[in-house]
Chain A
Amino acid sequence: MSKYMVNLKINNTPIQVEEGTTILEAAKLLNFRIPTLCNHPDLSVAGNCRVCVVEVKGAKLLAASCATPVSEGMDVNTNSEKVRIARKHIIELLLSEHNVDCTKCFKNGHCELQELASEYRFGDHIFIDLVKDRDKVRDISSPSISRDASKCIRCQRCVRTCDELQSVSALAVVNKGDHQYITTFLNKPLNDVVCTNCGQCINRCPTGALYERNYIEDVWQAIYDPNKFVVVETAPATRVALGEDLGIETGVRVTGKMVSALRKMGFNKVLDTDFTADLTIMEEGTELLTRLKKALVDKDDTVKLPLMTSCSPGWVKYQEHMYPELIDNLSSCKSPQQMFGALAKTYYADKINIKAENMVVVSIMPCTAKKFECNRPEMRDSGFKDVDYVLTTRELAMMIKQAGIEFDKLEDESYDSILGESTGAAVIFGTTGGVMEAALRTAYEIITGNEVPFTNLNIQPVRGMEGVKEASIKIKNTKPEWNFLEGVELNVAVAHGLANAKQLMDAVKSGKTNYHFIEVMGCPGGCIGGGGQPIPTSAEIRKRRADAIYAEDMGKTIRKSHENPEVAEVYKEYLTHPLGHKSHELLHTHYKVRKRY
């Protein structure tokens, strides 16, 4: 069915668009930028900030262009005198209830309200300052996310994010009128409510009301301390997004430059979380096969299937809060970040002759939930805090700027060894479907001795931005020790963003599914869309980062985790074999049931 087309004029330029298009979208097609604050491409339309008002000829009132669909014959002016005056007043009114301490703000330079204010160059404030002292209370209870109510302009992007994308609703709008504000259940500290620490609210907050708990100074102090040996690990998804905060185009890989910058900043060793991603595949793949064997051969009905991935700490905490009955389905594997920390302060410290107590492990993550994860009491299996500090991609970009490094001029450098080598399978951990694809590449080959039956090892059914993806792989020509899997159809599912995870978990709970293995990433798009990634985010931006991840995979000579030579070396020298005694001690963990309310 062909769509009905509508003709209208915007700033005297005629345009034809599909019925249902908003004035804002139509103006964008004509390259007229209308400012917005509450509007976000990932979220439903709210229309509450009014910054995007335009004048429609014949209408008595100005229209919020984000919430007004076009109609036939409409004559729109986006920059009339009336519009300009109204917009200026709206921005000034927003500023009157915004704590304007921009120079001290963590989001300084990354604030949409600040940007608008700079466009309009206000002189004196014409409205009285409405920021009350009681608003100036910061909630820094969470190791991941900080909240500053005095910066909040009540656009409700965070509320919509937490509800629509994550199905958590840790934040809500309370009261009404000028008493309205955004808070948690009964104003409890963020750390005491259902917040998963995913940080998606930070990615969408237009001001400094939500920002990550930052550890930049702690990390500099560690680097400056001559008695400390500071090791840094970098997550897969940081290398395809860091450039965005340093003047490089979206979707450009900056792996080599990032390594070079970290070395110049003074880290003693620059290593790769991708290494432990490969290690995760060895451990988790073996865990999957062990669970399948117990279920299919030993007929052990206590075995929990489907197995669910545990790399994403936002997802893990969500599961602990929301689906405690499925908690044993989570893989006992620690996330790659934590496996790295545990190995760094044991095996690696020994190997390079450094005392573990003098070692500081810093991890660069696309994630805010990782900050919470490294503070979990379970994460001290090395005898010390396994990972000391977690920095987001954004924090790293700030530190690179502080260090005076001209990032775009850096030469590519390689990771240190050992714990620096990785495969294409590890890199794709950074995008939704990646852990599943990496696990299948390895598991299928362990079972059959043959490569997974997809062109170039690219398992297309688990790729892409569909909310929930499914795939089935028929296992053929098994090795003798795996013949119980001959002819078995291995059913897998992948979800990203917790709203999609909820849908998948409800299906699993209903008992109508027959999945063996499920990958869930807490953030939309997986880690490339993580809560610690450069701002802004959109479907388009996430796709470009994901494309870069797959390009990095294709560029790797080794693309299967079990072929990582350093992983083999670590097993040979230290861990012996997957799920062995040492692995259990260092690389596996347990989960705790948390209150949903």
Chain B
Amino acid sequence: MTTTEVLIHDLVEKHGKSRNALMPVLQGVVACEKFLSEEAMIAVARELDLSAADVYGTASFYTFLDTKPRGKNIVRVCKTISCHMQGKDAIIKAIENHLMVKVGETSPDKKFTLLTANCLGWCHKGPVMLINDEVFPSVTPEKAIEIIEEFAKKTI
């Protein structure tokens, strides 16, 4: 078994084989691998006795269940109106320049993927940035780069 298959096997042990287990299993895979590869979706389908198309359909519905390869850290900048008015464009620009990527792309060292997100519920403290599961409110372009650099150091 590949590491992905082992991971999924363990997740299914934990969450069970019912249809209800599909979401937590997919979330578990994304937590470890950052995205759902073809191999992962097939393994989940096999373990839960579902069709692969069904798993893909479910995954594609949720923004946070990515089906495209992602870097080790996923940076999401809120793009909705409050954060827009509080300067999210400058944040994105700064990160793009720093990582030398465009929104949707992954840095050549595979450490970061830059994405935008819909409202993260921090309108009172925008602009807001999310790295993996961690929220960073009221960021400035300089602060955003600083935070990203810290993550870069922690990431092998």
User: Quick check: is B52 within 8 A (CB to CB) of the other chain?
Assistant: yes
Q: Given A185-B56, A186-B38, decide whether A172 and B51 contact each other with a Cβ distance below 8 A.
A: yes
Helix, strand, loop or mixed for chain B's interface?
Answer: helix
26 A-B contacts, Cβ less than 8 Å apart?
A163-B51, A168-B51, A169-B50, A169-B51, A169-B53, A169-B54, A171-B53, A172-B51, A172-B53, A172-B54, A172-B56, A173-B57, A174-B57, A174-B60, A174-B61, A175-B60, A175-B61, A176-B60, A185-B51, A185-B55, A186-B41, A193-B52, A194-B51, A596-B46, A597-B42, A597-B46
Number of B positions contacting A (CB below 8 A): 16
CB contacts under 8 Å to A, within B37-75, are 38, 41-42, 45-46, 50-57, 60-61, 67
Docked CA distance A67–B50 (Å): 27
- Taken residue by residue from 20 to 44, chain B's Cβ proximity to chain A (1 for < 8 Å, 0 otherwise) reads as 0000000000000000001001100
- Taken residue by residue from 73 to 109, chain A's Cβ proximity to chain B (1 for < 8 Å, 0 otherwise) reads as 0000000000000000000000000000000000000
Contacts of B38 in A (CB 8 A): 186
Contacts of A183 in B (CB 8 A): 53
Contacts of B52 in A (CB 8 A): 185-186, 193-194, 597
CB contacts under 8 Å to B, within A176-213, are 176, 183-186, 193-194
Contacts of A193 in B (CB 8 A): 52-53
Q: Contact: B61 with A170, CB < 8 Å?
A: no
Contacts of A194 in B (CB 8 A): 51-53
Docked CA distance A174–B58 (Å): 7
Docked CA distance A171–B56 (Å): 10
CB contacts under 8 Å to B, within A145-176, are 163, 168-176
CB of A487 to closest CB in B, whole Å: 40
Contacts of B42 in A (CB 8 A): 597
- Taken residue by residue from 75 to 94, chain B's Cβ proximity to chain A (1 for < 8 Å, 0 otherwise) reads as 00000000000000000000
CB of A482 to closest CB in B, whole Å: 42
CB of A184 to closest CB in B, whole Å: 6
Docked CA distance A183–B53 (Å): 8
Contacts of A186 in B (CB 8 A): 38, 41, 52, 56, 67
Q: Given A168-B51, A169-B50, A194-B51, decide whether A174 and B45 contact each other with a Cβ distance below 8 A.
A: no
Q: Contact: A170 with B57, CB < 8 Å?
A: no
Contacts of A172 in B (CB 8 A): 51, 53-54, 56-57
CB of B125 to closest CB in A, whole Å: 27
Q: Which residue of A lies closest to B62 (CB)?
A: A176
Q: Given A597-B42, A597-B45, A597-B46, decide whether A170 and B51 contact each other with a Cβ distance below 8 A.
A: yes
Contacts of A170 in B (CB 8 A): 51, 53
Contacts A168-B51, A174-B61 aside, 14 further interface pairs with beta carbons under 8 A come to A169-B51, A169-B53, A170-B51, A171-B53, A172-B53, A172-B54, A172-B56, A173-B57, A183-B53, A184-B53, A185-B41, A185-B55, A186-B52, A186-B56
Q: Which residue of A lies closest to B50 (CB)?
A: A169
CB contacts under 8 Å to B, within A398-444, are none
Q: Contact: B56 with A174, CB < 8 Å?
A: yes
CB of B153 to closest CB in A, whole Å: 36
Q: Could you list which residues of chain B lie within 8 angstroms of chain A, going by C-beta atoms?
A: 38, 41-42, 45-46, 50-57, 60-61, 67
Tally of A-B residue pairs with Cβ under 8 A?
A: 47
Docked CA distance A169–B54 (Å): 7
Contacts of B57 in A (CB 8 A): 172-174
Docked CA distance A169–B61 (Å): 17
Q: Given A169-B51, A185-B52, A193-B53, decide whether A176 and B61 contact each other with a Cβ distance below 8 A.
A: yes
CB of A501 to closest CB in B, whole Å: 15
Docked CA distance A174–B60 (Å): 6
CB of A164 to closest CB in B, whole Å: 13
Q: Which residue of A lies closest to B60 (CB)?
A: A174
Q: Which residue of B lies closest to A184 (CB)?
A: B53
Which 5 interchain pairs have the tightest Cβ spacing? A169-B51, A172-B57, A172-B53, A174-B60, A185-B52
Q: Which residue of A lies closest to B52 (CB)?
A: A185
Contacts of B54 in A (CB 8 A): 163, 169, 172
Docked CA distance A316–B69 (Å): 36
Q: Which residue of B lies closest to A179 (CB)?
A: B60
CB of A597 to closest CB in B, whole Å: 4
Contacts of A169 in B (CB 8 A): 50-51, 53-54
Q: Which residue of A lies closest to B63 (CB)?
A: A176
Contacts of B67 in A (CB 8 A): 186
Docked CA distance A170–B55 (Å): 11
- Taken residue by residue from 512 to 552, chain A's Cβ proximity to chain B (1 for < 8 Å, 0 otherwise) reads as 00000000000000000000000000000000000000000
Docked CA distance A186–B40 (Å): 12
CB of B142 to closest CB in A, whole Å: 35
Docked CA distance A186–B53 (Å): 7
Contacts of A174 in B (CB 8 A): 56-57, 60-61
Docked CA distance A455–B131 (Å): 76
Docked CA distance A175–B56 (Å): 9
Docked CA distance A174–B52 (Å): 12
Docked CA distance A168–B46 (Å): 13
Docked CA distance A168–B53 (Å): 10
Contacts of B45 in A (CB 8 A): 597
Docked CA distance A183–B56 (Å): 10
Contacts of A168 in B (CB 8 A): 51
CB of B79 to closest CB in A, whole Å: 16
Contacts of B61 in A (CB 8 A): 174-176
CB of B15 to closest CB in A, whole Å: 20
Contacts of A175 in B (CB 8 A): 60-61
Q: Which residue of A lies closest to B61 (CB)?
A: A176
Q: Contact: B53 with A185, CB < 8 Å?
A: yes
Contacts of B56 in A (CB 8 A): 172, 174, 185-186
Docked CA distance A175–B45 (Å): 18
Q: Which residue of B lies closest to A596 (CB)?
A: B46
Contacts of B53 in A (CB 8 A): 169-172, 183-185, 193-194
Docked CA distance A185–B51 (Å): 9
Docked CA distance A174–B54 (Å): 9
Docked CA distance A185–B42 (Å): 9
Docked CA distance A170–B56 (Å): 11
Q: Which residue of A lies closest to B39 (CB)?
A: A597
Docked CA distance A49–B104 (Å): 33
Q: Which residue of B lies closest to A176 (CB)?
A: B61
Q: Which residue of A lies closest to B58 (CB)?
A: A172
Q: Which residue of A lies closest to B42 (CB)?
A: A597
Q: Which residue of B lies closest to A181 (CB)?
A: B60
